[in-house]
């Protein structure tokens, strides 16, 4: 069953926006940040999904500058260059270098639709000299709410959820 999240509508608008900036999904652990990004990635023919808790993915950001990283990832995936591609960086808080690279995705590689996610980002952001303010769009992600739950299990129940309950039975 596909879980409905309200943020999907924001991501749909972002996908077609000519001024699309990388998105940073922020939130506590286990609220659905990775699920949201991976589910949304299915709308793209070309997808690159990295998890910086995996040493081989983490080391890519330590080893390469941004252009080399993109060249390498496109080559190993056999993707044509400069083609609309979804690029997901999970657990980005593990690499301050990856966090700082977000601004250059926006400035130098607009064909890449970049979403990053992480928990405990406040600790990682304290370690970097300059966060790319104005070049990254941050979206807070919270646990699934009641409306999202109803939409997932039975959308017809949504009509009943908008009324007020009369606790006296009248």
pTM: 0.85
Token reading at 139:
């979206």
- Judged on CB neighbours under 10 Å (0-12, 13-18, 19+), 130 is exposed
- How confident is the model over 67-121, as pLDDT tens digits? 999 999 999 999 998 889 999 999 999 998 998 898 889 889 989 999 999 886 6
Tokens 């639709």 belong to residue: 113
- How confident is the model over 5-52, as pLDDT tens digits? 999 999 999 999 988 999 999 998 999 999 999 999 999 999 999 999
At the top level of CATH, the class of 7-143 is alpha beta
Please say if the pLDDT value at position 162 is more than 80: no
Question: Cβ atoms within 10 A of the Cβ of 151, count?
Answer: 18
The domain spans of the chain are 7-143
Picking from 44, 80, 74, the residue whose alpha carbon sits closest to that of residue 60 is 74
**pLDDT at residue 165, as a whole number:** 43
Contacts of 25 (CB under 8 A, 6+ apart): 33, 36, 37, 115, 116, 117, 118, 139, 141
């Amino acid at each position: 069953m596909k879980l409905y999240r309200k943020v999907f509508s924001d991501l749909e608008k972002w996908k077609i926006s000519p001024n699309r900036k990388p998105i940073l999904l922020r939130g506590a652990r286990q609220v659905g940040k990775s699920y949201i990004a991976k589910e949304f990635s299915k709308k793209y023919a070309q997808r690159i999904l990295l998890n910086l808790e995996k040493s081989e993915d983490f080391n890519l950001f330590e080893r390469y500058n941004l252009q080399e990283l993109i060249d390498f990832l496109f080559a190993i995936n056999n993707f044509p260059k400069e083609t609309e591609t979804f690029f997901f960086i999970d657990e980005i808080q593990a690499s301050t270098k990856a966090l700082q690279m977000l601004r250059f995705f926006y400035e130098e590689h607009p064909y890449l639709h970049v979403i990053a996610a992480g928990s405990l980002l406040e600790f990682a952001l304290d370690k970097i000299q300059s966060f790319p303010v104005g070049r990254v769009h941050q979206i807070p992600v919270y646990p699934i709410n009641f409306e999202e739950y109803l939409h997932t299990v039975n959308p017809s129940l949504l009509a009943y959820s908008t009324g007020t309950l009369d606790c006296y039975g009248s």
